Amino acid sequence: MSTVTPTRPVTGSLSLTAAKLPRFAPVLVAVVAAAAAALPVLFLGWGPIAWAILAGLVFLVALPLWARVVEGSRGATDRMVTGLVWAACAIAIVPLLSLLWTVVDRGLPAINTTFLTFSMYRTDLDQEVGIYHALIGTLLITLFAAIISVPIGIMAAIYLIEYGKGSRLARWITFLVDVMTGIPSIVAGLFAFALFILVFGPSTRVGIGGSVALALLMIPIVVRSTEEMLRLVPDELREASYALGVPKWRTIVKVVLPTALGGIVTGVTLAVARVVGETAPLLLIAGLTSRTNFNVFDGRMTTLPVLIFTQNANPGIAETPGGTPPGIEIAWGGALVLIVIVMLLNLVARTIGAIFAPKTGH
């Protein structure tokens, strides 16, 4: 006796692919949105910023609607979220590009050999001036601030991760580091100012005082960044070193720190970039001078942020009616040089991190 297996009737073909918008759909919608937004902008007399915002809103609405008709609700949601992510990226990048363009456009005409090699100290009325003294002051004060803060910050992070994990002292140090992270820069300047006038007298204005103030701002950043990098080092590396009979301190120096060196250097660079533009604490303790001072332990020192502030506050009189005052030109040129210094620091940090980072692969 034979049995017949029932078969399910075929009601239609099963498609393994869903409908999709063409690849040029976002570009097409962007062009239509730009054209549609241009009409009210022209009639109402709005500017290009309003046109860009209106075109973006039209794009964020039109593309998901089209996708909902063709691709369904899931495709529309995906298109909408993707558009919002790109919009957030543009909102973050456009002000940065605008800032860089403004600084380069206004500061580049002031940059020349005289501007970078002459100080503000004049020996005659016709002598040209520059920012050399402020450039030297910025580099020296920041260098000594790093010399003070980097060893302290790294060793504090090593204690928190390698020695004091879970102890009461480690919890207190972590709490104090968190508090120091949020203190205003003027408070660090007041502390350095009070410390130095207490020890050396009320008229003390010295470059190393500015380094101390900046070090107070750098230490919590170095501690936190180093702490996170040390946490990323696998415990297997430490245990393998201990299994070979290597002491703990040597394991930290030879295994843990080299593994985390790239991240530590990046954290130190972020700390330097955080303080290199500080003005308030240096106005209090480092002071202002028109001469070039190479000794941070003796006399006042001017930094680029302080020079920019003072030149903008006292710009002088323009040579021609309606022209730009000389102080404003110096301020924009100093701002451009300051941005270039920060960019160079980041490039150096990336290079050092790439060289000393642990090698992977075979």
pLDDT tens per residue, range 88-117: 998 889 888 999 999 999 999 889 888 888
The position carrying tokens 């299994």 is: 243
Residue 12: count other Cβ atoms within 10 Å of its Cβ: 5
* pLDDT for 64 beyond 70: yes
Residues 249, 302: one domain? yes
Residues 2-11: contacts with CB under 8 Å, at least 24 apart:
none
* pLDDT for 47 beyond 90: no
Residues 95, 172: one domain? no
Domain end call among 109, 143, 162: 109
Residue 69, pLDDT score: 86
Residues 183, 50: one domain? no
Which residues make Cβ contacts (< 8 Å) with residue 117, sequence separation at least 6? 130, 132
Residues 280, 334: one domain? yes
How many Å separate Cα 50 from the centre of its chain?
A: 29
13 inside domain = no
Residues 183, 330: one domain? yes
Residues 183, 317: one domain? yes
Residues 85, 185: one domain? no
37 inside domain = yes
338 inside domain = yes
Residues 178, 104: one domain? no
Mean pLDDT of 116-135: 84
213 inside domain = yes
28-43 pLDDT, tens digit each: 888 888 888 888 878 8
Residue 17, pLDDT score: 56
Residue 263, pLDDT score: 84
11 inside domain = no
Residues 244, 293: one domain? yes
16 inside domain = no
Task: Provide the residue count of the chain.
Answer: 362
**Contact status, residue 337 vs residue 304, Cβ threshold 8 Å:** yes
Residues 292, 251: one domain? yes
Domain end call among 69, 89, 109: 109
Q: Which domain holds residue 95?
A: 25-109
Residue 226, pLDDT score: 92
Which residues make Cβ contacts (< 8 Å) with residue 355, sequence separation at least 6? none
Band the pLDDT of 362: cuts 50, 70, 90: very low
Which of 80, 66, 73 is closest to 24 using CA atoms?
A: 66
Band the pLDDT of 16: cuts 50, 70, 90: very low
Q: What is the CATH number of the domain that holds 341?
A: 1.10.3720.10
Band the pLDDT of 357: cuts 50, 70, 90: low
How many Å separate Cα 358 from the centre of its chain?
A: 25
Residues 104, 127: one domain? no
Helix (H) or strand (E) run with residue 256 in it: none
Band the pLDDT of 14: cuts 50, 70, 90: very low
Residues 133, 222: one domain? yes
Top pLDDT among 350 and 187 is at 187
149-195 pLDDT, tens digit each: 999 999 999 999 989 887 889 899 889 998 888 888 899 999 999 99
192-232 pLDDT, tens digit each: 999 998 888 888 889 999 999 999 999 999 999 999 999 98
Q: How far apart are CA 350 and CA 122, in angstroms?
A: 40
* pLDDT for 83 beyond 70: yes
Residue 1, pLDDT score: 46
132-155 pLDDT, tens digit each: 999 999 999 999 999 999 999 999
Domain end call among 77, 109, 141: 109
282-334 pLDDT, tens digit each: 988 988 888 888 999 988 899 999 999 998 888 877 777 767 788 888 999 99
Which residues make Cβ contacts (< 8 Å) with residue 344, sequence separation at least 6? none
14 inside domain = no
* pLDDT for 15 beyond 80: no
Q: How far apart are CA 180 and CA 163, in angstroms?
A: 22
Which residues make Cβ contacts (< 8 Å) with residue 173, sequence separation at least 6? 156, 159, 160, 164
Count: domains in the chain: 2
Model pTM score: 0.80
User: What is the overall mean pLDDT for the chain?
Assistant: 85
Which of 173, 358, 136, 163 is closest to 264 using CA atoms?
A: 358
7 inside domain = no
Q: What is the DSSP letter of 245?
A: T
Q: At what angle do helices 73-107 and 48-71 cross, to 10 degrees?
A: 160
